[in-house]
Amino acid sequence: MEKFRIVQWFTGDIAQHQIRLVDAHPLMELVGAFAFHDEKVGRDAGEIAGIDPLGVRATKDMDEILSVEADCVLCNPPTERYDEIVPIRNRCL
């Protein structure tokens, strides 16, 4: 069975738990990570989540992350960023 290709949207505390869960799941593969904060951009998603590198660099570039072929997006925006999610979601549809 093929792995589900997952993009993690945002990289805060909850998202870091999700990155670890995706990495540990035999049927999931992290293929993208969107970071809001500049200090996380360019860093490996695994390192952001406190695990070994996964070979997935966090990006803040909307076109780059939307070009990633994925089966699922895990989205955990901070409350103050909810208004940004609707246009992003619409762009994905």
Q: What is the pLDDT of residues 18-38, one digit of tens each?
A: 999 999 999 999 999 999 899
Q: Is the pLDDT of residue 79 over 90?
A: no
User: For residue 83, which amino acid is it?
Assistant: D
Q: Is the pLDDT of residue 75 over 70?
A: yes
Q: Is the pLDDT of residue 92 over 70?
A: no
State the pLDDT at residue 93.
60
pTM of the predicted structure, to 2 decimals: 0.87
Contact by Cβ (8 Å): 31, 6: yes
Q: Is the pLDDT of residue 82 over 90?
A: no
CATH number of 4-92: 3.40.50.720
The residue ranges of DSSP E strands in 1-93, in sequence order, are 4-9, 28-34, 58-59, 72-75
* Cα gap 75→88, rounded to integer Å: 11
Q: Which of 42, 2, 50 is nearest to 23 (CA)?
A: 50
Kindly list the domain boundaries of the chain, sorted by start residue: 4-92
Contact by Cβ (8 Å): 35, 9: no
